[in-house]
């Protein structure tokens, strides 16, 4: 019995790119982790939250606010906001926004990149950046005059994993060369 492939009657198509999907304000992509849970529980007991008029911070409000900060930071290409910008963003979360903003800023500063995975650079780009920084550190160490008394330790090479390699096919082909089609035509005579 021979089975042949039949094309489905309905084709599925992704309409948005990953970045467009991540920046869509109707989708909340930020997902709380255990550090966030600890921060919220410590915030619930603090007098600072109660003085601001809000005794309870829901998980949904927290995730929505963190997501808003991430999307705004990606759009503006920066890691901090002015007081006016924070006030513009707080229309749904109330007075707790400033506390969440400080938590977001510290967490993002500690991580050194966006907190939403879709907005983070690919791993191979991060690895290439680490290698460049290492090269600069090595060059700086080699150019410094050495009197023989100081021993400089070479910066360790960052660990490489399979996902740190640039995927094939992302290189721009040489536009000057003509590429031949891989199709083969049968010649019958």
The pLDDT value given to residue 37:
92
Show Cβ contacts of residue 87 under 8 Å, excluding neighbours closer than 6 positions: none
Residues 138, 94: Cα–Cα separation, whole Å = 49
Q: Where are the domains of the chain?
A: 18-119
Asked if 137 contacts 155 with a C-beta cutoff of 8 angstroms, the reply is yes
Residue 158 to residues 133, 134, 145, 164, Cα–Cα distance (Å): 10, 8, 26, 10
C-beta of residue 136 within 8 angstroms of C-beta of residue 128: no
Q: Extract the tokens encoding 96.
A: 């707790």
DSSP 3-state of 28: coil
Q: What are the tokens at 95?
A: 């007075």
Residue 94 pLDDT: 61
pLDDT of residue 151: 46
- Residue 170's pLDDT is 58
DSSP code, position 7: -
Which pLDDT value is given to residue 185? 59
The structure tokens listed for 61 are 């409000």
The per-residue pLDDT for 39 is 92
Per-residue pLDDT tens, the chain, 189 aa: give them.
677 877 777 777 767 777 777 778 888 889 899 999 999 988 877 755 544 445 577 888 899 888 989 888 888 888 888 888 887 776 555 668 888 989 999 999 898 888 888 887 777 777 788 788 888 888 887 765 555 554 445 567 767 666 666 666 656 555 555 555 555 556 665
pLDDT number for residue 152: 46
| 41: three-class secondary structure by DSSP | helix
Dihedral sign from CA coordinates of 99, 102, 103, 104: positive
Angle formed at CA 106 by CA 102 and CA 111, multiple of 5 degrees: 150
Nearest-CA neighbor of 28 among 66, 65, 64?
A: 64
Q: How far apart are CA 86 and CA 93, in angstroms?
A: 11
């Amino acid at each position: 019995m021979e089975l042949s492939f039949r094309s489905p009657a309905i084709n599925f198509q992704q309409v948005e790119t990953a970045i467009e999907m991540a920046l869509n304000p109707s989708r909340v992509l930020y997902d709380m982790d255990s550090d966030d849970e600890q921060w919220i529980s410590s915030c619930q007991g603090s007098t600072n939250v109660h003085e601001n008029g809000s005794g309870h911070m829901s998980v949904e409000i927290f995730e929505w606010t963190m997501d808003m900060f991430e999307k705004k930071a990606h759009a503006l290409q920066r890691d901090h906001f002015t007081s006016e910008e924070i006030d513009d963003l707080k229309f749904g979360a109330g007075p707790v926004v400033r506390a969440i903003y400080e938590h977001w800023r510290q967490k993002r500063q500690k991580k050194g990149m966006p907190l939403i995975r879709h907005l983070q650079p690919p791993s191979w780009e991060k690895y290439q950046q680490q290698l460049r920084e290492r090269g600069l550190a090595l060059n700086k160490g080699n150019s410094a005059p050495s009197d023989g008394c100081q021993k400089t330790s070479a910066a360790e090479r960052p660990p490489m994993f399979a996902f740190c390699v640039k995927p094939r096919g992302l290189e721009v082909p040489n536009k000057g060369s003509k590429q031949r089609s891989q199709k083969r035509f049968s010649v019958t005579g």
